[in-house]
Amino acid sequence: MVLDVPAGTIARRELITVDEGGSVLEAARLMVQNSRGSVLATRSGEPVGILTERDILKKVVSKSLDAAATKVKDVMTSPPITVDYNMPLREAIDLMVRKGLRRMLVTQNGRIAGIFTMRDILKHTRTCLYCGKEIMSILESKTPDPFIECECGSRYHTKCAETVVNCVSCGRTIVTNVVYPEPSETFSG
């Protein structure tokens, strides 16, 4: 089953890094150049934190801080949350959902070895991002699960989508009209 694979198997190996003493502006430029949503912060070459596009929006831009004068170490998440390469993907997804993370660093033999994002998970699974269980299609089950797909590609069981309302991955509203049955409908006949 696809969710039982080691989490590390879907991680990308190449990570972009910036010294924690560098400016947020420098880090942001690096992220744009490499089309990445995060950068690994290092101290003397050793990874010590992660800076994401969301960190920059929340902690720098929205507070009108000067990105050129703000150091990476002042706004990064340190130490970063990581999972071991061999952790089942199912458990890694569960952790990401609970912590509200869109990306996860993978360690191998205690060293950071790669990173994967919610988007990478979607490419490999048909997992409901709310409950972490597989969405059964007609290929696997005679009673396929009804599901809702967000504009970003994330999928949810229809029931889960009504509970979560806003997409875990991108924050968009995925259910705009939750319909509750009228009392008269439940007592039909």
Of the residues 38, 82, 127, 154, which one makes contact with Zn ion according to CB under 5 A? 154
Q: Strand order of the sheet with strand 46-52?
A: 17-19, 38-43, 46-52
Instruction: Tell me whether residue 30 or residue 170 sits nearer to Zn ion (CB atom).
Output: 170
To the nearest whole angstrom, how small is the minimum distance from the Cβ of residue 6 to Zn ion?
A: 23
To the nearest whole angstrom, how small is the minimum distance from the Cβ of residue 57 to Zn ion?
A: 17
Strand 38-43 and strand 155-157: the pairing is unpaired
Q: Report cis status (omega within 30 of 0) of the bond before 79.
A: yes
The helix/strand/coil state of 127 is strand
Residue 105 binds to Zn ion (criterion: CB under 5 A): no
Of the residues 83, 128, 148, 164, which one makes contact with Zn ion according to CB under 5 A? 128
Residues 6 or more apart from 100 whose CB is under 8 A from it? 168
To the nearest whole angstrom, how small is the minimum distance from the Cβ of residue 65 to Zn ion?
A: 28
Residues in touch with Zn ion (CB under 5 A):
128, 130-131, 150, 152, 154, 157, 160, 167, 169-170, 172
